Amino acid sequence: MNTTYVPIEAPSDETDFLDGAEAHCRARGVSLTPIRRMVLAMLHCHPRGLKAYDLLERMKADKPGASPPTVYRALDFLIDQGLAHKIGRMNLFVACSQLCHQERMPGLFLVCPRCNGVTELQDESVIRALTASLAAVGHQLESQEVEIGAICPRCRELG
Ligand SMILES: [Zn+2]
């Protein structure tokens, strides 16, 4: 049993996380600019995800000239680099809970319909099996984020 559940609720130390992201970018020959770093930091402190609008409002506190394209460009970069994910079902953006998507592996996201909590399921064997199974019938995932509606342990306990 090598399945590990990494609840997005429990972020690791922020500076370590951001430094790791910066190193990840450097290794790929791209740069985590201050704005991209700021957006990633905001996502990291809000494990349940933020909407682009929330990011813009928070960014404006620091950079009054920030506009929606500022936020979307930073998000596009973070998603391209595997540092963030878009949860389309909720229109939310979350930081990748690990710097694990260098290989552009799809991420599996459990979205709880009751509390809107998002958890990234870190199970490479499921992702590999899913990708292979889709390929066998000539399909390809449309995005790197696979969303699965699943009631979280806390909500299950509440009945
Ligand atoms: Zn829940």
Helices (H), 3-90: 14-27, 34-45, 52-62, 68-80
* 3-class DSSP state of 78: helix
- pTM for this predicted structure: 0.74
The SS3 call for residue 85 is strand
| Residue 129, in any domain of the structure | yes
> Domain tally for the chain?
1
Domain containing residue 95: 9-158
* End-to-end Cα distance, the chain: 27
Domain assignment of residue 3, yes or no: no
Would you say residue 39 lies in a domain? yes
Tell me the residues surrounding ligand 1 (ion) with CB < 5 Å.
112, 114-115, 117, 152, 155
Q: For residue 4, is it within any domain?
A: no
**What is the distance between the alpha carbons of residues 2 and 20, in angstroms, rounded to a whole number?**
24
Residue 99 has a CB neighbour count (10 Å cut-off) of 15
Distance in Å, CA 114 to ligand 1 centroid: 5
User: 12-63 pLDDT, tens per residue?
Assistant: 578 888 998 999 899 999 999 999 999 999 999 888 789 999 999 999 998 8
C-alpha 48 to ligand 1 mean position (Å): 11
Asked, for residue 2, whether it belongs to a domain, the answer is no
